[in-house]
Structure 1
Amino acid sequence: MPAEAAELLTDALRDLPDPTLLDLGTGTGQVPKALLKALPSLAHIEGVDWSRQMLDQARVALTPLLGSCALSLVQTSADVYTRPAPLPGEEWWTPDLITCCRAFHWMSGPDVLAMAHRVAAPQASLAITGDGSLWTYEADWTRAPRHLIQQYVGPGRRADTMGDYTQPIRPFQEELTDSAWSDVAEHRFPITRTWTLESVLGYLRSTSFAGADLFADRHAAFEEEVRALLDDLTDSGSLPEETEFTVLLARRPAGGR
């Protein structure tokens, strides 16, 4: 997450005495990590993800940064998330900011937005953020691996071993404006990344469209072919990406909370 995007989100929390965050599809905790750096006064973070492996990585990444901030990680789908009851002696908490980064397209949007409306604090904000992927980014060095992936696993964009990815029917902004979170502002932040061959390979292993499970015993051969392709496409050893990080920052109109 670009620092400017993190600052935008923390601006919604700065005047609150004990701000709280609910991060849906938290993965390895990249959003909480960025917000902890931008706003050390965060009091409570709850990360939600269906993958126990991801949540374990998030705990490792976030624990050194927490200070006095409480962290809870919940293994479930965001579509069916319910706020856990507090332990004896603890108080109920309600999220002041709900975030979903690079994951909303996997979820049932109406169900997630209705759930967010139920659990959020009255003044809460909700942010859907993302910047596409190397599958959607158009450059010679992304097209060649994409075509190779299709040769191995089929012409469509895979969604892990569940089949092909289904493109969302409606833009996220339309889903927001038809929900309780209808006060929506769009913010775009240009970003430049420099990839290396090893970082591309590591990234591909983490994706739903090129994870190792899709290739079975052919994964090593696939990676060798990716190495050969990218070696031919770069002289400097670096691969540039120019893209935008988008933040849809939504609130509920007065009277709709």
Structure 2
Amino acid sequence: MTYPYGQLPDLYPEQEALFASAAATYARYRPGLPDAAVRLLADVLRGQPSQVLLDLGTGTGQVPLALLSAGADLTHIEAVDVSRQMLHQASQALHPLLGHCTLTLAHAAADEYEPLATLPGEPDSGPDLITCCRSYHWMNGQAVLAMADRVATPGAAVAIMGDGSLWSHDADWTRALRELIQHYLGSERRAGARSSYAEPRRSYEQDLADSAFNDVTEHLFPVTRIWAPQEVLGYLRTTSFAGAGLFAERHQAFEDEALALLHAHTVDGSLVEEATFRVLLARRVGGAR
């Protein structure tokens, strides 16, 4: 069962435009969650009578897709994103796996979101797990955590997750690639067509410490990814720092040069990324574990 989109049209045109053209490419080229991180999230939900997930900045639905694929007994998913195209991709990916689980797709910014519906027959239901995967840096974190406190069940957990990007990864091939991007787009890291990336003024840990979810544990999962050069180009098209629209008519020239650069750095046709996937798992003090 799927509830209708909760559409709030034209409230975030710049954010929506940033991701709209890349939605299908995002689903194909963005890395998923490590298995160990998925098991951690599934353990959080295990034992909850309803197992409700609220995924903020869901993108193509990677978090609920990973949990459903791992056999989590979810009864309801609320997937929130500013991009209708991303939500469409999430819907296509999740529908074959839903079974008895219901799904709400909410077109909204995470910090402005309010639940669209409670579970059928359960007026006091709320999420047992609230996740932000590679998305929290786009949000008003303090507002998101205040909303989470309003809607979550008493024993709920918040998981803020991510692993950086190929821009921030430190390897010979990523440094060379970053320099090539800067040659085309300037030295500052771009964050879409109209702005440059700015580091958050507050750390995620500071936001959590000032919220109701201030009982925090950190979980680190080493990840080795093997990329083919063409896969790196596909990934770059999904990013805010090297999306196709930033290059305009020079995008093909950039990709030709980037492909040659990447092939020059391959070993047996592959490029290796050694990353760390970090999960900040936060609960209210005294919340169930």
Fold match by TM threshold 0.5: yes
Residue number among 91, 102, 123 corresponding to 1:59 in the alignment: 91
Alignment partner of 2:262: what SS?
helix
Deviations 1:112-143 (A, max 9, x none): 11011111111111000111100100111111
TM-score by length of 1: 0.95
Indicate whether 1:154 and 2:186 are aligned.
yes
Residue number among 254, 268, 275 corresponding to 1:243 in the alignment: 275
Equivalence map 1:67-78=2 (5 Å): 67-78=99-110
Residue of structure 1 equivalent to 2:82: 50
Matches of 1:166 and 1:109 in 2, distance apart? 15
Confirm or deny: 8 A CA contact 1:14 1:39 kept in the other structure.
no
Residue of structure 1 equivalent to 2:49: 17
Indicate whether 1:6 and 2:27 are aligned.
no
Ranges in structure 2 where 5+ consecutive residues have no aligned partner: 1-32
Residue number among 188, 196, 201 corresponding to 1:164 in the alignment: 196
Equivalence map 1:23-102=2 (5 Å): 23-85=55-117, 91-92=122-123, 93-102=125-134
Residue number among 140, 151, 170 corresponding to 1:108 in the alignment: 140
Equivalence map 1:120-135=2 (5 Å): 120-135=152-167
Deviations 1:148-203 (A, max 9, x none): 11111121111111310110112211210111110000010111110011110110
Residue of structure 2 equivalent to 1:136: 168
Give the AA of the match of 1:181: F
Matches of 1:29 and 1:147 in 2, distance apart? 32
Ranges in structure 1 where 5+ consecutive residues have no aligned partner: none
Residue of structure 2 equivalent to 1:189: 221
TM-score by length of 2: 0.85
Give the AA of the match of 2:131: T
CA RMSD of aligned residues (A): 1.5
Moved over 4 A (4+): none
Displacement of 1:235 after TM fit?
A: 3.9
Alignment partner of 1:161: what SS?
coil
Matches of 1:112 and 1:23 in 2, distance apart? 12
Matches of 1:125 and 1:235 in 2, distance apart? 42
**Identical-residue share of aligned pairs (%):** 59
Matches of 1:234 and 1:4 in 2, distance apart? 28
Give the AA of the match of 1:33: L
Residue of structure 2 equivalent to 1:232: 264
